[in-house]
Structure 1
Amino acid sequence: MSVVVPTAPEQAEDEMENQIKPPHPRPDAPPDYSAHFVSGPPAPAVPPPVGYPGGLPMGYCGPQHSTTIPLYQPPGSIHPIQYQPGKYHMPNQFAPITWMPEPTLMPNCPPGLEYLAQLDNVHVLQHFEPLERITRFETNNRYDIKNNLDQMVYIVTEDTDDITRNTYRTLRPFVLRVTDCAGREIMTLQRPFRCTCCCFCCPSARQELEVQCPPGVTTGFVAEHWNLCRAVYSIQNEKRENVMGVRGPCSTYGCGSDSVFEVKSLDGVSNIGSITRKWNGLLSAMGDADHFDIHFPADLDVKMKAMIFGACFLIDFMYFERSPPQRSSR
């Protein structure tokens, strides 16, 4: 006896395909978005800039939108972004700064001093810090070094901690770092602490400045000499041998006139150069923003030019640096 096994009814070929193929090619596609925004009248067409027939490429920031993208600051960064050499716009300044063209390398010249080798005078311009007068908090000094063409030669920044700077004020030990247009430190000026509690004629109370060029290599020293009437310094080489002398005026207050510090030979007869603190009117009297003119012969040894350059900053801190007024205890 034969057994008949029931079988499933045959389905049409088109129904089988419908079960295998999904009803939509992309089942996960989002539904169509219906916007409720009512568009306004079309804006006038703006022609693309010259040289870009299809408009500005993606990510390009045109000159008219140069301030729409903020400058990137790394997380936790304290120092500002270094700008490249040439003309650039510094923050909060309206005029571009032009750097002095980088000179060629010279034999027997410390790297970075090639700028001084072709100059016979430089201008030292201290930055004015209005917050010092308001908050009475001493900040690190900053200087711009320029030539007669108003071109930037160096930038000098003080590197002193807040406690030392606000405790010792004008008598503080400091480190000044001189950098060029590429941000390289080409010179370091160090002033050690000298106690002024003892007699002024004691050698331990005399101020001193060490000039290193390049940093870590001692070029010479600027040493103070005790004098009852005027400021007297000696410029020494790396062996502490006297090479030149600096003789200041009898009065270093400089109220209403320039203060000239003459650089003389060891015999005191011939003049070699000068360090002049310019009188800038009320800005010199009330603000802490000094202006110095340093003159030296163009054919003078470049290391001696660096020593005269360093003597300017020791003179500034000793006689013309004004600390913010302290609040009275009453």
Structure 2
Amino acid sequence: MSGVVPTAPEKPAEEGENRVEAPDPRPDNPPNYMSHCVQAVPPPASCPGGLPMRFYSPQQPSTFPLYQPTSGIDPIQYQPGKHPMPNQSAPITWMPGPTLMPNCPPGLECLAQLDNIHVLQHFEPLEKVTGFETNNRYDIKNDLDQMVYIVTEDTDDFTRNSYRTLRPFVLRVTDCGGREIMTMQRPFRCTCCCFCCPSARQELEVQCPPGVTIGFVAEHWNLCRAVYSIQNEKKENVLGVRGPCSTYGCGSDSVFEVISLDGVSNIGSIVRKWNGLLSAMGDADHFEIHFPLDLDVKMKAVIFGACFLIDFMYFERSHHNVHQDRSRQ
């Protein structure tokens, strides 16, 4: 018995397995929020400017140096109305936008401060070469060569090339901010009827803002000259337009007088300027519109619309039909 070493009494297996340890009073370690991030690798000594391209990863912070303009060259910046667009050769300067005026449709504030404007049609080489009629475009400027409006025709290809100069059209007038401030609509009128038939007379509706009619331009039958009426939204005659006996003045301007209803007072004029060979061969007309400064701005807008109806009726050219004198003789 003296050589036996006493051992601790063995515990039953069931007691060891069912033993529950006491919870650790110390708080758990905070989670590692940076485990998903890839730490930046310092650039090797052989690449002082940054990592080589084959080691670049979108997850790693870029070490490529940012572009810095060279000294003496300023970064290119464009400001609307002051710098040319990429497809333009000269800068465009817009007329400063005036403040809102009472009793003036929105967008016509510039027109209310002018007594004359210039309508410049864009020259379309595609029409001259192929004969395919394209949408007309116009620049509206003041005497200081500042842009006031831009007028763009909105007509489908089939209508333009089928009806040519007699086509119905929609002209959209936009300001410097690209907002459509005026719409001009010309309905289709059949000219196969007798000239004295009212259904054959041309008409133009002027809306400002789009959807709100402010006036009409109505054609009247006359034996030897072009005659129009400037009407208000109720189709009541306010002014008249009287053209020359021969609307196509070769070598001289074509003047359409804006007169009072009694025909005595000369209120203003719509003048198609003669520009030499460009007027004779190209389809790029230049109109100059004059009206009193204190004239109702709505009537100014309707006179402005009469210029486009006159352009389509008498000065618009076609590949299949060279300009004819439509003076209703």
User: 2: distance between equivalents of 1:215 and 1:57?
Assistant: 48
Please name the residue that 1:318 is paired with: 313
Amino acid at match of 1:190: Q
TM-aligned CA deviation for residue 95 of structure 1 = 1.7
Deviations 1:22-50 (A, max 9, x none): xxxx9xx9xx9x99xxxxxxxxxxxxxxx
Please name the residue that 1:44 is paired with: none
Please name the residue that 1:263 is paired with: 258
Cα distance, 1:86–1:256 mapped onto 2, change above 3 Å: same
Amino acid at match of 1:123: H
Amino acid at match of 2:83: Y
Please name the residue that 1:39 is paired with: none
Please name the residue that 2:91 is paired with: 96
Amino acid at match of 1:296: F
User: 2: distance between equivalents of 1:112 and 1:323?
Assistant: 33
Amino acid at match of 2:90: A
Please name the residue that 2:150 is paired with: 155
- Match runs of 1:182-197 below 5 Å: 182-197=177-192
Contact 1:264 1:270 in 2 (8 A): yes
SS at match of 1:303: helix
- Match runs of 1:1-330 below 5 Å: 57-58=66-67, 85-325=80-320
User: What are structure 1's unaligned runs of at least 5 residues?
Assistant: 1-25, 36-55, 68-82
Deviations 1:31-72 (A, max 9, x none): x9x99xxxxxxxxxxxxxxxxxxxx954879968869xxxxx
Cα distance, 1:313–1:63 mapped onto 2, change above 3 Å: farther
SS at match of 2:134: coil
Cα distance, 1:224–1:59 mapped onto 2, change above 3 Å: farther
Contact 1:232 1:246 in 2 (8 A): yes
TM-aligned CA deviation for residue 84 of structure 1 = 5.8
SS at match of 2:178: coil
User: 1: distance between equivalents of 2:83 and 2:171?
Assistant: 24
SS at match of 1:187: strand
Q: TM-score, structure 1 length as denominator?
A: 0.75
User: 2: distance between equivalents of 1:135 and 1:63?
Assistant: 44
Contact 1:84 1:181 in 2 (8 A): no
Contact 1:246 1:261 in 2 (8 A): yes
Amino acid at match of 1:272: I
User: 2: distance between equivalents of 1:183 and 1:99?
Assistant: 12
SS at match of 1:297: coil
Cα distance, 1:161–1:255 mapped onto 2, change above 3 Å: same
Contact 2:230 2:239 in 1 (8 A): yes
User: 2: distance between equivalents of 1:205 and 1:58?
Assistant: 66
TM-aligned CA deviation for residue 254 of structure 1 = 1.9
TM-aligned CA deviation for residue 241 of structure 1 = 0.5
User: 2: distance between equivalents of 1:231 and 1:241?
Assistant: 19
SS at match of 2:287: strand
User: 2: distance between equivalents of 1:211 and 1:308?
Assistant: 10
User: What are structure 2's unaligned runs of at least 5 residues?
Assistant: 1-37, 48-64, 322-329
**Larger CA Rg, structure 1 vs 2:** 2
The alignment covers a number of residue pairs equal to 262
TM-aligned CA deviation for residue 253 of structure 1 = 1.1
Cα distance, 1:233–1:115 mapped onto 2, change above 3 Å: same
Percent pairwise identity: 85
Superposed structure 1 runs of 4+ greater than 6 Å apart: 59-62
User: 2: distance between equivalents of 1:111 and 1:253?
Assistant: 36
Amino acid at match of 1:320: F
Contact 1:233 1:247 in 2 (8 A): yes
Contact 1:133 1:325 in 2 (8 A): no
Deviations 1:68-124 (A, max 9, x none): xxxxxxxxxxxxxxx863212134432211000010110110000000111000000
SS at match of 2:188: coil
